[in-house]
């Protein structure tokens, strides 16, 4: 079987009109209202216009709200073409979870263990980018310790190195782990911040250089936000 045929088999079918409208209502109306009015999430965007076409969104990861918050900043005409990458072993445990992730979150599920993989996850994501789709990645690989950023895994570097013309948009999420703590199912309104950094164009960079640049960009945003939130002592 040819490489092009293999790639076509990996691609997700074009979303029907009904799903496009469902995703638009979910993320541009419902979730935007939840994050903005209920949770009190503050959106801080960069000065550059959002790139046209496919992009790779990367963010730190502490809450199940992270993917939904990122979908709210995706341009309206690309919501149905943007997919979060989620863990098959966690979100694929039941038929309902799989259905919800694929249809309500627009996620693609991948296995984190080699023994359970039907396809190479990098090959799957590579095929999706080739088809003009955007991806949401959490390079830490897991939610980890609330409020603590773990080292980035090199998957984002491998993927971005194959698509040097596709922008990588770093995003820092602060506080969402308080709104939906690990192990909880009820959202509480504790506020938070979503910071979108400047798109990174990482041409001619190695896997390690891309991974390091992506991690550095998000850590710098975290540091800038921390400094901005500090209360200046009285003179």
Q: Tokens 């009015």, residue?
A: 37
pLDDT at residue 82 in the model:
95
Closest alpha carbon to 150 in 199, 84, 222: 222
Closest alpha carbon to 83 in 35, 44, 34, 27: 27
pLDDT at residue 116 in the model:
60
Mean pLDDT of 127-138: 93
The angle formed by the CA atoms of residues 64, 141 and 75, to the nearest 5 degrees, is 60
What are the tokens at 44? 């801080």
Q: Which of 86-95, 127-136, 176-185 has the highest mean pLDDT?
A: 127-136
Bigger pLDDT: 125 vs 3: 125
Sheet with strand 134-137: strands edge to edge: 41-44, 192-196, 168-174, 56-59, 134-137, 82-87, 108-110
pLDDT at residue 12 in the model:
44
Question: Long-range contacts: 115-123, Cβ < 8 Å, 24+?
Answer: 116/88, 116/89, 119/10, 121/85, 121/155, 122/155, 122/158, 122/159, 123/6, 123/10
- φ, ψ for residue 56, nearest 5 deg: -115, 110
Q: Write the pLDDT tens digit of every residue in 142-164.
A: 766 767 788 899 989 999 999 99
Tell me the pLDDT band of 235, cut-offs 50, 70 and 90: very low
Q: Write the pLDDT tens digit of every residue in 175-226.
A: 888 887 666 667 778 889 999 999 998 888 999 999 999 999 999 999 998 8
CB-count burial class (<10 Å; 0-12, 13-18, 19+) for 234: exposed
- Which CATH number does 3-227 carry? 3.40.1130
pLDDT at residue 143 in the model:
67
CB atoms within 10 A of CB 16: 10
pLDDT at residue 9 in the model:
41
140 half-sphere exposure, CB direction, 13 A CA radius: 19
Q: Write the pLDDT tens digit of every residue in 30-86.
A: 999 999 999 999 999 988 889 989 999 999 988 888 999 999 999 999 999 999 988
pLDDT at residue 15 in the model:
62
Whole-Å CA distances, 10 to 84, 89, 108? 16, 19, 11
Residues for the chain: how many in total? Answer: 235
Whole-Å CA distances, 210 to 154, 168, 196, 205? 9, 10, 18, 6
Bigger pLDDT: 217 vs 233: 217
Q: What sections of 25-143 are H helices per DSSP?
A: 31-33, 66-71, 88-91, 95-103, 121-130
Bigger pLDDT: 181 vs 1: 181
Return the domain boundaries, the chain: 3-227
Tell me the pLDDT band of 2, cut-offs 50, 70 and 90: very low
What are the tokens at 157? 């570097």
Mean pLDDT of 120-128: 87
């Amino acid at each position: 079987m040819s490489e092009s045929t293999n790639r076509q088999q990996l691609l997700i079918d074009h979303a029907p009109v009904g799903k496009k409208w469902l995703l638009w209502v979910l993320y541009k109306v419902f979730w935007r209202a939840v994050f903005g009015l209920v949770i009190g999430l503050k959106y801080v965007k960069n000065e550059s216009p959002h790139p046209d076409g496919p992009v790779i969104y990367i963010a730190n990861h502490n809450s199940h709200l992270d993917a939904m918050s990122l979908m709210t900043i995706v341009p309206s005409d690309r919501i149905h073409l943007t997919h979060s990458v989620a863990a098959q072993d966690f979100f694929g445990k039941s038929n309902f979870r799989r259905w919800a992730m694929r249809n309500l979150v627009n996620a693609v599920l991948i296995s984190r263990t080699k023994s359970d993989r039907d396809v190479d996850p990098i090959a799957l994501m590579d095929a999706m980018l080739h088809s003009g789709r955007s991806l949401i990645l959490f390079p830490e690989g897991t939610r980890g310790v609330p409020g603590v950023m773990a080292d980035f895994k090199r998957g984002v570097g491998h993927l971005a190195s194959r698509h040097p013309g596709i922008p990588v948009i770093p995003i820092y999420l602060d506080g969402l782990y308080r709104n939906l703590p690990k192990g909880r199912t009820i959202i509480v309104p504790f506020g938070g911040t979503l910071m979108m950094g400047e798109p990174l164009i990482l041409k001619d960079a190695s896997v390690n250089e891309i991974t390091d640049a992506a991690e550095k960009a998000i850590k710098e945003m975290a540091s800038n936000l921390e400094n901005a939130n500090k209360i200046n002592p009285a003179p």
